[in-house]
Structures are given as structure tokens and as C-alpha cells.
Amino acid sequence: MEMQLSMVVLEVRDVTRSVEFYRTLGLAMPDPRTDRPVSILRMSSGVSLVLTEDFASTNDPTWSRPTGGYQQLMEFFAGEDAEVDAMWEKLTAAGYEGRMAPTQTQGPYAAMVDDPDGNVVLLTSDEPARISNKDNA
């Protein structure tokens, strides 16, 4: 069996606040579950985004929340450069921390915004990130 990426799990401080951010980004995040603080969205790519307040802290007694920097980027394909610009404006106007304004990098046209927990969201018009691209299938 081929190994597949199934989900990205983010350990967040406030699942409701994180749901609001990812909805502003354009994802159809469901309301958190009533029986525990988690929201799960299965995207058309087949990968699920999981926002949870207590998975790591409950299941790994050695876990501690990182205190600085970031360890990953989550890239979201926004389409055209103008859509990257528009999403940057929308998120920063909503009060989310902009890390890198839209710019042409050595690779894609991109912008970076922090979610409420400091996870870095990379917005790009990078064609290889398009789900329908046959090279990514």
C-alpha cells in the first residue's frame, strides 16, 4: 500500500477562533463538535484539516506548545496573483498577523499570514499546488 497524507492536525488554543480564521480563508470548516473541542474538514483533495485543542496534550505526556518561530508552512493555492492579494487584504483587515505581504519570491507569487496560533499559512498562485494539476495527481 502506498503511504498517503491523510490529514493535517493543528493543536490550537481556541478551536472556535481557529474555525473563524479558516472560514475567513475560505474553507468550509464545520462548527466544533459539542462533545469535544475539534473541527474536521475533509477537502476535495482527500486531505482533512483537523483543528483540536487537546489531542497532543491528552495523548503525549511530553508534549509542550512551541514558544517561538514556526516549524511548518501550510500552502493554500489561491489561484491568480490577484486572488493572493485579495486574500491577504481580507485576512489582515480581519486582524490576522501578516508575516509576508504578497510578493514574487524566487518560486511562487506568495504571501504568508499567521493563524490565531502562529501556524503559518502560505497563500500562493503556484500552479504546481493546484489540485487539478495532473503532475500532482
pLDDT at 127 > cutoff 70 = yes
Q: Which three cell numbers stand for residue 122?
A: 502560505
- What is the domain partition of the chain in residue ranges? 1-61, 73-137
Average pLDDT over residues 83-91: 97
73-137: which CATH architecture? Roll (3.10)
Q: What are 5-50's pLDDT values in tens digits?
A: 899 999 999 999 999 999 999 999 999 988 989 999 999 989 999 9
* Beta-sheet strand order (sheet of 48-52): 7-11, 48-52, 38-42
Q: What are 42-71's pLDDT values in tens digits?
A: 999 899 999 999 899 889 989 998 887 887
Burial class (CB in 10 A: 0-12, 13-18, 19+), 2: exposed
Q: What is the pLDDT of residue 2?
A: 81
Pick the CATH number of 1-61 from 3.30.70, 3.30.720, 2.40.50, 3.40.50: 3.30.720
| Better-scored residue on pLDDT, 82 or 137 | 82
Instruction: List Cα–Cα distances, 71 to 5, 27, 77, 98, in angstroms.
Output: 18, 22, 20, 17
pLDDT at 137 > cutoff 80 = no
